[in-house]
Amino acid sequence: MTIGSEFHQDLKSFWKRHDGTLSALDVGSWAATIDLTHNLYRGMPAAFNRFFAFWQYRAIRKLLQACPPRFGERVLDLGCGTGRWSRLFQNLGASTVGIDLGTHALRWAFQLSSSGSWVAMEIPRLGFRDASFDWAVSVTVLQHLPHESQEEALRETRRVLQPGGRLIAMELCGGSEEGFYVFPRPRMEWEDLFSRHGFQVVRRQASERIPWIPFFRCLARWKPGGGEKGRRPLVEWASAWLRRGHTGLLLYLFLAIGYPLEGLAAAIGLDRWARYTAWLLRRRD
């Protein structure tokens, strides 16, 4: 599917507005939750996002157990946001370069870690020399590029990786009801895309094995004033609903149930309905 330049400009404007919400935040009061509020479900309570962040982090750590980065290896963090994955690799001894369209997000990334390099750059084109990095990481980033841009982003990522370099990717699998800014693929289609652009799947991990978000979407359609067909977007409606008086207790009920159920699903390998898949990929020589 070919998407016109006007759509690309609308998409860029959307992410610029999203980045702009960071400009008025105070470093002291938001530092502990900025990753949760900016990089996951926008506007949702921090406790809600912490649940999904926990399982994302768990999936990525499991992939890295297979071949952790060696001390001093260079990592390119694509669409780094406020730098949560760069900081993970820094803690493992790697040297990181985070790139993002959002200048406010990059300022936050620097506030949270001055160890890495932070560069304003628009994906898919990457302004680095060939074979500049040992690793690249893209967690819920490729899915926000139109399909033809995903192709270019992977070509560019392969170019800037060393032969045999690794790519960590986690992306939304299946259909999309998320909004005009999400471009998912079925899991096998993602893997075919990786293969076409010179990457070999080494390991994979599922995340969000139980379809919590589709459940909340159904609830939004059932509740008055909710739903994509209604007056308010799902995330905006759900955020207001979860913060409203006694309704907020449902959030804590969800968390009390969600952690053990998601853990059980992970333990038994219930991956069939997982919304996300994370891959450890190797650049073929």
- Predicted confidence (pLDDT) per residue in 28-37, tens digit: 656 668 888 7
Query: Any idea which fold 5-209+271-283 has?
Result: Rossmann fold (3.40.50)
The confidence score (pLDDT) of residue 13 equals: 87
Domain boundaries, the chain: 5-209+271-283, 212-268
Helix (H/G/I), strand (E/B), else coil: 279: strand
| Residue range 90-100: mean pLDDT, rounded | 97
pTM for this prediction: 0.88
Cβ atoms within 10 Å, residue 163: 11
Backbone angles phi, psi at 223, to 5 degrees: -75, 145
| Residue range 263-278: mean pLDDT, rounded | 92
Percent of the chain with pLDDT over 90: 59
* Rounded CA separation 170/55 (Å): 12
